Structure formats: structure tokens, C-alpha cells
């Protein structure tokens, strides 16, 4: 009996040692990376990596360790390094006493033009940057908001620095070349078509298949693309390393996800109905709201399409009104005599994510095979494309 007791004690002790060693091993394999910033011409008392990107790391704050008067080192855990899309470097966080925001902007001469950015992203090819102070821009009486959605009228001080170290080929360089990658917008006056933008993004991804900036932007801006096929064309340009990143895996999961025919309450009867009622026909889903004036201005276009194609396809509207404005939406439906079905989103954010709705008015054409395509009904080309689809 005593012998068995001793054996049990020894086994428990051995198990405790194994667990302890395992915990120590986990601590050992927890990796960290460093990002060094050298600054000339401006001294700070503190320096932070600060994230303004909505998500699990919104308002993340990482303090730098000061090496000397102008050299700062940030230590970033891999868990943050591998997941954080965008961040800024700031001398101090928002001062609620004076409603003052202090920011830092980065400038560089690229192809004879001065390029600028405030947002950065972690980059395997860039662990050090040298900066030289240029000037400070102060903006008074501007509206700012915090992570809780509170708005403030305050002051923003932005310190401008020139990047002195070589950044060519890095993600910082690519970001400065195109801060709006994946947004189908441009800082220049030139207006591109959707296809021109898409071809441009594909070309850049082919030239820089390892860019964490490009793959993370694609992940964050998928709703700007008209079809999954367009997203896949761009996604296939990236390296396996990018595809295996958290952003690459999220994109792949979206591409693999079939169209989900969810049920939502009818705005007038409150009875739940599937969005797609006849899977043998195309369905045009219109997204709108009681407070959306552009949606209301688009009604004549929607009515014409409905009158022309109602015998060949189905129409349904999904309102993204919150509970407090649902009654206003019901009043709008009756006042305007909307002839197509109208459903309520209930959970607005969930519906917008499910259907990848960037803003309203927005339209999605769902095909019988459950593939779907976003359409801009303001555009004559998209209207013509819709008519061509239904005629086929």
C-alpha cells in the first residue's frame, strides 16, 4: 500500500515537471520582433505604435524603448506582427483634456514626386527606418472621434519627417506609391474604370507577390470587388507565403464559402422569408435605408429595371435600418408604393458582412448557380450588363 502511494507521488511529480517544462518551452518559442526608428531634428518624451484599424487590435498601444536621444526600438510580439494590418507611430496618444491629437507623417521622394503616408504596416524587409524632421502642420477646429464613437472638436498636430533610409521595394515604398490600393480610388485626377483598376492591382501583385501590404489590403477591401472571380484572379498572384498568412486564409475562406440564402423578416408582415425565393431565376438584391437619400434618388432607375425585367427575374430589397428607424422605412415603402419585397436586416453588421456591402445604395445580382456579382446601378455599363445577363 505504501509502495503504491510512493509510486503515485513520483508519477504526479514527474507530470508536474513535464507541465512546467512545457510551459517554459512555450515561453521560449514565443517570438518577438524589433522595429527601430531613428529620428533627427525632433525629440520626444515617448513614442508609440498605435492602431486605428477596427478589429481585435483597435486602439492597440505599444511603447518604444528609448536607446538614446533620437533612437527608439519597438518590440512587437509575433501574435501582433502577424495579425495587425495598419498602425501609426505617434509621440503621445489622444489628449482628452485639450482634445488634441499628435500624429507623425512619413515623406519620401519617389520618381521625382513627394509621397506621403501616416499609416504603416509591419514588413519583413524593413526593420529599421531613419527619419529627418521637416515641419509641423497644425489643424484647428477639426472633428475627431475615439474608439467608442465619441466625436470631438479639437486640434491635430502632425509632425512631418523625410525618410532618409532606403525603402525601395519595401511595403512602406509600395504604400507611398498607392495608399488607396484595393479601394478603386486614386489621388490623381484621372478616373479609371473598374477593369482598369482591377488590371492595375493584378499587375502590382504580380510584381510584388510577397507584399503583406497588398494581401492585407485585398482582405480588408474584398467588398469593393464585383465578383469572387475578380478576387480570385488577384489572390492567385500572391506567393504561398502570403496565401498562408492570416489575411490569405481569410480570403480563401471567403472564396470557398457558398452563397448563404439567409431568412429575414418581411418589413411589412414581420414573417421570416428567404432572401432568394426562386433558385431557378436570377434575383436582384437591393440594399437601402430610410435615411439614405442617394438610395431614394436611385428609385426611378430601380423602377425602370423592375418594370422591364420583373417577368424574368426576382427583386428584393434589404433595409439596413436599425430598430429605431424601422418605422420610418415602413412609412417610406408605403409612401413610394415599392412593388418588390422588402426585408429587414435585423443584425445590420452581420448582413453587411454576409453580402459584402460597402455602402448604399448597393445591388447584387444572384445567379441560379449561387454565384453573384455586385452592380452599380448608377452606371449605364452595369445596367446594360444586367439586361444582357437576363436576356441570355
| Highest CATH level, class, for 263-391 | alpha beta
pLDDT of residue 234: 97
Q: What is the pTM of this model?
A: 0.78
pLDDT of residue 26: 43
* pLDDT average per 10 residues of sequence, the chain (392 residues): 49 49 46 92 92 66 90 93 90 85 93 92 90 94 70 90 92 93 79 90 96 94 90 96 95 89 94 94 95 95 95 95 93 94 91 87 92 90 91 74
Bridging pattern class, strands 128-145 and 32-40: parallel
Q: Is 263 helix (H, G, I), strand (E, B) or coil?
A: strand
pLDDT of residue 152: 78
pLDDT of residue 68: 85
For residue 91, the Cα-to-chain-centroid distance in whole angstroms is 25
Measured CA to CA, the distance from residue 392 to residue 368 in angstroms comes to 13
Of residues 209, 269, 278, the one with CA closest to residue 245:
209
Domain boundaries, the chain: 32-167, 194-256, 263-391
Measured CA to CA, the distance from residue 181 to residue 202 in angstroms comes to 11
pLDDT of residue 59: 66
pLDDT of residue 57: 55
Amino acid at each position: 500500500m505504501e509502495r503504491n502511494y510512493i509510486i503515485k507521488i513520483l508519477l504526479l511529480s514527474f507530470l508536474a515537471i513535464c507541465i512546467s517544462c512545457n510551459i517554459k518551452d512555450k515561453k521560449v518559442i514565443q517570438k518577438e520582433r524589433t522595429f527601430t526608428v531613428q529620428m533627427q531634428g525632433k525629440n520626444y518624451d515617448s513614442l508609440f505604435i498605435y492602431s486605428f484599424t477596427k478589429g481585435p487590435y483597435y486602439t492597440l498601444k505599444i511603447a518604444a524603448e528609448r536607446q538614446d536621444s533620437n533612437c527608439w526600438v519597438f518590440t512587437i510580439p509575433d501574435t501582433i506582427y502577424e495579425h495587425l494590418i495598419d498602425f501609426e507611430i505617434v509621440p503621445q496618444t489622444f489628449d482628452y483634456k485639450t482634445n488634441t491629437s499628435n500624429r507623425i507623417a512619413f515623406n519620401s521622394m519617389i520618381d521625382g514626386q513627394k509621397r506621403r503616408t501616416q499609416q504603416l504596416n509591419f514588413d519583413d524587409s524593413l526593420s529599421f527606418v531613419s527619419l529627418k524632421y521637416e515641419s509641423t502642420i497644425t489643424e484647428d477646429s477639426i472633428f475627431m472621434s475615439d474608439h467608442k464613437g465619441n466625436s470631438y472638436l479639437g486640434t491635430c498636430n502632425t509632425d512631418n519627417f523625410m525618410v532618409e533610409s532606403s525603402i525601395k521595394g519595401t511595403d512602406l515604398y509600395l504604400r507611398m506609391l498607392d495608399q488607396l490600393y484595393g479601394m478603386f480610388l486614386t489621388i490623381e485626377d484621372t478616373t479609371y474604370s473598374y477593369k482598369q483598376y482591377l488590371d492595375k492591382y493584378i499587375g502590382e501583385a504580380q510584381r510584388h507577390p510577397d507584399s503583406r501590404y497588398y494581401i492585407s489590403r485585398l482582405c480588408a477591401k474584398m467588398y469593393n470587388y464585383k465578383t469572387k472571380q475578380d478576387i480570385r484572379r488577384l489572390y492567385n498572384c500572391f506567393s504561398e507565403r502570403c496565401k498562408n498568412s492570416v489575411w490569405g486564409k481569410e480570403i480563401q475562406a471567403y472564396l470557398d464559402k457558398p452563397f448563404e440564402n439567409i431568412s429575414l423578416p418581411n418589413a411589412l408582415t414581420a414573417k421570416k422569408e428567404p432572401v432568394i425565393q426562386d433558385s431557378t431565376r436570377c434575383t436582384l438584391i437591393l440594399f437601402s435605408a430610410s435615411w439614405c437619400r442617394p438610395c431614394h434618388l436611385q428609385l426611378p432607375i430601380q423602377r425602370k429595371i423592375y418594370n422591364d425585367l420583373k417577368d424574368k427575374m426576382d427583386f428584393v430589397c434589404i433595409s439596413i435600418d436599425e430598430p429605431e428607424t424601422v418605422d420610418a422605412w415602413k412609412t417610406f415603402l408605403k409612401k413610394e408604393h415599392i412593388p418588390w419585397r422588402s426585408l429587414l436586416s435585423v443584425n445590420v453588421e452581420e448582413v453587411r458582412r454576409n453580402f459584402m456591402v460597402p455602402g448604399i445604395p448597393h445591388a447584387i445580382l444572384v445567379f441560379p448557380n449561387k454565384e453573384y456579382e455586385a452592380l452599380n446601378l448608377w452606371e449605364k455599363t452595369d445596367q446594360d450588363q444586367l439586361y444582357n445577363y437576363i436576356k441570355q
